Amino acid sequence: MKEEIIKRSKAYYCLDCGKCTAICPVSNVRNGYSPRKLVTLTVNRSDDYVLQDAGLWSCLTCRMCQEICPSDVDYVVFTKLLRAEAKKVGEEGRCSHGGALHSLMKIMTAAELNQDRSGWLTPDLKTSKQGEYLYFVGCLPYFDLFFSDLKANSLDIARSTLKILNRLGIEPQVMSNERCCGHDLLWSGDVENFKKLAQHNLNQIKKTGAKKIITSCPECLMTLKIDYPELVGKVDYEVVHISEFLSDKLSQIRIKGFEKKITFQDPCRLGRFMNIYEAPRKVMQSIKGIELKEMKRSGNKAICCGTACWINCDSSSKRIQAERLKEAKSTGAELLVTACPKCQIHFKCAQSGSEKEKPPEELKIEIIDLTTLLSLAIGGE
């Protein structure tokens, strides 16, 4: 199995140059974590020692290393596959929040589950029971409740997306018993439960008859588009991120302007994984009065939001988040725009301080999702 992983990730080509470690955001804040070390441990040892290395679980899978690797080693695939092997021998990452989020996802693998997750659909948000468009909500209702003390307001993303789609004349289907896409389980090594979730979702999507899926979460996008066909079966739908969907339809809606200096956090999954950099920028720049000030490290050099799949939240994450927030503030922007619900949650958590201390002033910047920004710009009708 190790041979297979090395082949698929092209780890044999590793030159041991260490550029990956130099650019890795985790390595920058934590001495001793080294992507290069993990590759050499795997390739140069005949045993499975790497499966017991705690460093295997520290990777944020942000793909920054692959932007710079001269040998094109697919480090994130390497990590993903090794974690699945490690899980088989009983290793696992340390889930934050006591494992609550992972428990939620595993509960959703149950066949007989009748969720009550559509409470956020108020009468002004129009959906329909048939049609070619489907809005894949993801875990937004659960995040909104679970992180209510952070005022994450994740459901604002869903409401804004529907409002914008309605304004374009689209009333998408929304599945009432949608499961988590399974991204976090897949990337933390739990392939079996991921496949169960995927199968549930595929069965339901087939029943709706929808062919075009729109999502506001880059992780759902990547999982539905790439991992489902690869690991479960052929799919007969297309899936796009809301920013991609909107980028060529912006002239169809009346967008009022408003004056604001903003900056943008490129999500890992949207940018480096799916190569979508222009679409969100087109959406933001269609709003008159908006001044987009790019951070020093943006586009394919954007730094990850510091936590991935709920398994690597610790002081290193906080340092990464603090540095990124300071970078955002240094652009002079008043608003930090994100395009991923998790980036938003992780940054808000870093800003929140603790029970003993007030939120740190130097990290204070308002954070808003791309869809909410556009929704504010189009206003009520």
Partner 1 sequence: MSEFVQSEFGSKGNGSKRRSIGKESNFEPKIVVFACNWCSYAGADTAGIGRLQYPPNVRLIRVMCSGRIRPAFVLKAFELGADGVMWSGCHFGDCHYVFGNYRAEEQFEITKGLVKMLGLEKERLRLEWVSAAEGGRWAELIKEFVEDVKKVGPSPLRKKKEDDKRKIKEEMMGT
Which residues contact partner 1 (rule: CB under 8 A)? 97-100, 103-104, 106-117, 119, 141-142, 145-146, 148-149, 196, 199-200, 203
Phi-psi map region of 34: left, alpha, beta (phi>0 left; psi -120 to 50 alpha): beta
Tokens of 275: 């190569």
CB closer to partner 1 out of 28 and 115: 115
Edge-first strand order for the sheet with 238-241 is 133-136, 212-215, 238-241
CB closer to partner 1 out of 145 and 168: 145
Residue with tokens 């087939």: 206
Tell me how far, at minimum, the Cβ of 99 lies from partner 1, in Å: 5
CB closer to partner 1 out of 98 and 380: 98
Tell me how far, at minimum, the Cβ of 59 lies from partner 1, in Å: 23
CB closer to partner 1 out of 147 and 187: 147
Spatial distance between the Cα atoms of 219 and 279, rounded to a whole number of angstroms: 16
Tell me how far, at minimum, the Cβ of 365 lies from partner 1, in Å: 26
Max Cα-Cα span within the chain: 66
CB closer to partner 1 out of 355 and 381: 355
Tell me how far, at minimum, the Cβ of 166 lies from partner 1, in Å: 24
Tell me how far, at minimum, the Cβ of 144 lies from partner 1, in Å: 10
Spatial distance between the Cα atoms of 53 and 150, rounded to a whole number of angstroms: 33
Residue 233's alpha-carbon distances to 136, 195, 228, in angstroms, are: 19, 10, 7
Residue 320's alpha-carbon distances to 124, 193, 256, 257, 334, in angstroms, are: 39, 30, 35, 33, 20
Tell me how far, at minimum, the Cβ of 60 lies from partner 1, in Å: 22
Spatial distance between the Cα atoms of 309 and 219, rounded to a whole number of angstroms: 10
CB closer to partner 1 out of 113 and 168: 113
CB closer to partner 1 out of 74 and 190: 190
Tell me how far, at minimum, the Cβ of 141 lies from partner 1, in Å: 6
Spatial distance between the Cα atoms of 164 and 208, rounded to a whole number of angstroms: 22
